[in-house]
Amino acid sequence: MKLKRLTTALSEKLFWSSLLISATLVADVNQWVPEDLVARAEKEYDYSAGRRIEDWRRMMERVANYPEDRKLEEVNYFFNKRVPFYNDDKHWGKIDYWATPYEALGTNGGDCEDYVIAKYYTLSKIGVDVSKLRITYVKAVRLNQAHMVLTYFPTPDAIPLVLDNLINQIRPASKRPDLDPVYSFNANGMWLDKMKGQGILLGDPNKLDLWTDLRVRMNNLGMDL
């Protein structure tokens, strides 16, 4: 617990210092989304896919210096707007495929997990402390359907804000009676880092859980999740 508090304090410090020297963040866009991914998407998918990746890069560059609440809104809106919703089995040919943002934007489609992943990655890169972010398994009550959203905790014990692909507006969880939370997990941590390291070293992501598998694939694309 001590360790966690320490890292939280450290990342807060880093956050404030990053606001002061925001110019450096702009230069970091190439580390967030490598430039060659645009050309790669054009080659792998089509021209518009490349444009969408490029737009994503531009958006990150643009909002990197915004206040945190604006960042949430911009990122949420970008993905809800730009990526059409499809179910996994229709889009990827297999149930429960966790796609990278590159794949979601490239194929121009994704389901709830893909939105969550894309938003999580983008926010974590443009300076939102990942200890405030949780990936939450929920049940969409009206649709009676398994769903996933990204939640944002301004303070550790606060009611979180919900970033959902069903609605474009970000609301506090208390204002979302249509969603029933099941379980949320911290996508970052020593354990996961370690497992990721082993997964990458072993080069066989199939044996790991979906999240680690995803991180390995992201890494292969040059994006450090």
Neighbouring residues of 211: CB distance < 8 A, sequence distance ≥ 6: 98, 187, 192
Q: Rule CB under 8 A: is residue 185 a binding residue for other proteins?
A: yes
CB closer to other proteins, 104 vs 150? 150
Q: Rule CB under 8 A: is residue 171 a binding residue for other proteins?
A: no
Among 156, 177, 203, 206, binds other proteins (CB under 8 A): 156
Q: Could you tell me which stretch among 47-55, 86-94, 139-147, 178-186 binds other proteins (CB under 8 A)? A: 178-186
Token pair, residue 108, equals 């121009």
Q: How far apart are CA 77 and CA 169, in angstroms?
A: 8
Q: Rule CB under 8 A: is residue 72 a binding residue for other proteins?
A: no
- Helices and strands, counts by H and E, the chain: 11, 5
Q: Could you tell me which stretch among 13-21, 97-105, 116-124, 157-165 binds other proteins (CB under 8 A)? A: 157-165
Burial class (CB in 10 A: 0-12, 13-18, 19+), 6: exposed
Among 194, 204, 210, 220, binds other proteins (CB under 8 A): 194
Among 21, 81, 90, 174, binds other proteins (CB under 8 A): 174
Among 173, 216, 218, 223, binds other proteins (CB under 8 A): 173
Q: Rule CB under 8 A: is residue 76 a binding residue for other proteins?
A: no
Outline where DSSP puts E strands in the chain: 133-140, 145-152, 161-163, 171-172, 179-185
Among 166, 195, 200, 221, binds other proteins (CB under 8 A): 195
Backbone angles phi, psi at 123, to 5 degrees: -65, -40
Q: Rule CB under 8 A: is residue 186 a binding residue for other proteins?
A: yes
The 107-126 site mask, x for binding other proteins (CB under 8 A), equals --------------------
Q: How far apart are CA 36 and CA 24, in angstroms?
A: 21
Q: Rule CB under 8 A: is residue 206 a binding residue for other proteins?
A: no
Q: Rule CB under 8 A: is residue 159 a binding residue for other proteins?
A: yes
Q: How far apart are CA 196 and CA 225, in angstroms?
A: 10
Radius of gyration of the chain (CA): 17
Considering the complex, what minimum distance in angstroms separates the CB of residue 178 from other proteins? 13
Mark residue 108 as left, alpha or beta (left: phi above 0; alpha: psi -120 to 50; beta: remaining): left
Query: Residues in the site for other proteins, rule: CB under 8 A?
Result: 1-2, 4-5, 134, 136, 151, 153, 156-160, 173-174, 181, 183-186, 189-191, 194-195, 198
